[in-house]
Chains A and B, each alone.
Chain A
Amino acid sequence: MTKDPTHLSDDAAGLMAEVGEVVAAQADVHFTDDRLERQRAHILERLEHEARHGRVISFPAAPTHAPASRTRPRVRWVAVAAAAGLLIGFLSEHVAHRARPVQPSAIAAVDTGAETLQLVAAPLSEEEFLGRMEMAVEGTAGSALRPLDDLTPRVWEVAAQ
C-alpha cells in the first residue's frame, strides 16, 4: 500500500487544525456578523439594480430594425441637404456668370475691333494714327500722367524739325 502524502498523525492533524483556525480568524476578525449582513444586503441591492436596468432593454423581443428606421431619415435628410446645396451652388454660379456686367473695356475692344478691320482695309497715315493714339491715351489716362505727358516731345513736332 502506498503512503498517502497528505496523511498526518493525530498530533500533526491537530496542529493543522490549529493553523486552519488562525487562518480563518484572520478574516473573521474583520468580517463580523454585522459586516457580513451589510455585505449580503449590498449584493442583493446590486442584483435588484441590475434587474431594473435589465427591464429597460427589450432585447430580443423588440423588432431589431426599429432603431435602424429611427436613424435612417436623419441620414437621408443630410444627403438631400448636401445635394440641394451643391445644386444651388452650381446654379447660382451659373446665373452670376451670365448676369455679370460686361466691362467697358470689353465693349471698347469690340468697337475698336470693327475700326481695326476698317484700319486694315484703309490704312491711316502715321501722323493720323499717332494722333488717334494720343487722343485715346488722353481719354483713358488719369491726370496723374499729365505732367509726364507734358514733358514728352510730340512726334509731329520732332518730325517737323
Chain B
Amino acid sequence: MSRTTSRRTIASAAAVPPAPAAPVVARDSALAAEIKALVLAGRRDAARERFAELVAAHQRRATRIAYQYLRDVHDVDEAVQDAFVKVFSHITSYREELPFDVWFTRILVNGCLDLRKSRSRRLRWVLPTPADSTPPEPVAPQPSPEERLLASERGRRIAAAVEQLPERQRMVFTLCQVAEQTTSEVSQALGLREATVRVHLFRAVRKLRVLLERER
C-alpha cells in the first residue's frame, strides 16, 4: 500500500482531516534536510535557529505521545527535551527519504522506554513520591477547554476506558489517532510489522467501542 493510500485509510478510520497533514510532513522533512545541510556546512548557529521552528512544530505532538508512556509531567518534559537534543545531535544521520516525524517519533519512543526503565529501577530503591508532585500551573480565571473536557462526565469515562487498554494498543491508538500517523509510519516508529499495528489498532478501537457504547 502506498504511503498516501495508507494515510487516507487511517484518516478515514480515525476521522482525521487528511488534507493539512501531508504538506506539514513534507515541509518538516525538507526543514530537517535543510538543518542537516547547515550542520554539515559548519553553520551550527543558523541550524539551531531553523531547528527552533522544527521544535515548535512537533513539540505538542511529542508531549502527547510521551504522556501516554510516562504519565508524569516531569518525565514527559525530560523525555521530550532529550529527544529534541538527540535529534539535533544526530541530524547528520537523518535520511531525507524518510519522513522526519517517523524518525523523530522513533527517537522519542525509545527515549520514553529508557526513561521508564530507569524510573522503575529508581523506585525499587527509593520510596515513591506522590503520584504527581508537579507544581500546578498558575490557576486561570476560567478553566481551559481541556480541563472542562476532562472534568466532564463523558471525559472521565473516556479517560477510564483508555486506561483499560493494554499498553501496546493504547500506544498504537495514540500514534494513529492523536499523532496522526499512518499504520505504516507507526510500524516504522515502533519497530513492529504493519499487520501487527493494524491488529492492535483494530482491537483498541473494538474495545473502546464496547466500553463506551455500553455507557451511552
Pick from A4, A7, A23, A35: contact of B162, CB below 8 A.
Answer: A23
Asked whether, in the complex, the Cβ of A20 is within 8 Å of the Cβ of B85, the reply is: no
Stretch from A45-53, A101-109, A147-155 that touches the partner: A45-53
Task: Give Cα A47 to B13, complex, Å.
Answer: 39
Asked whether, in the complex, the Cβ of A20 is within 8 Å of the Cβ of B177, the reply is: yes
Asked if A42 lies at the interface with its beta carbon under 8 angstroms from chain B, I say yes
Query: Given A39-B59, A43-B81 in contact, is the A23-B15 Cβ separation under 8 Å?
Result: no
Q: Which residues of A contact B12 (CB under 8 A)?
A: 7, 13
Asked whether, in the complex, the Cβ of A43 is within 8 Å of the Cβ of B84, the reply is: yes
Task: Give Cα A12 to B216, complex, Å.
Answer: 13
Q: Which residues of A contact B59 (CB under 8 A)?
A: 36, 39-40
11 intermolecular pairs with C-beta atoms under 8 Å apart: A5-B199, A6-B198, A14-B15, A16-B205, A19-B177, A20-B14, A22-B162, A25-B146, A27-B63, A28-B60, A44-B52
Task: Give Cα A16 to B153, complex, Å.
Answer: 17
Task: Give Cα A43 to B81, complex, Å.
Answer: 6
Residues 174-216 of B at the A interface (beta carbon under 8 Å):
174, 177-178, 183, 198-199, 201-202, 205, 208-209, 212-213
Asked if B106 lies at the interface with its beta carbon under 8 angstroms from chain A, I say no
Stretch from B25-33, B72-80, B123-131 that touches the partner: B72-80
Pick from B56, B150, B183: contact of A6, CB below 8 A.
Answer: B183
Task: Give Cα A119 to B48, complex, Å.
Answer: 109
Query: Given A8-B13, A36-B60, A47-B85 in contact, is the A21-B149 Cβ separation under 8 Å?
Result: yes
Q: Which residues of A contact B51 (CB under 8 A)?
A: 44, 47
Q: Which residues of B contact A10 (CB under 8 A)?
A: 15
Pick from B80, B202, B205: contact of A39, CB below 8 A.
Answer: B80
Q: Which residues of A contact B183 (CB under 8 A)?
A: 6
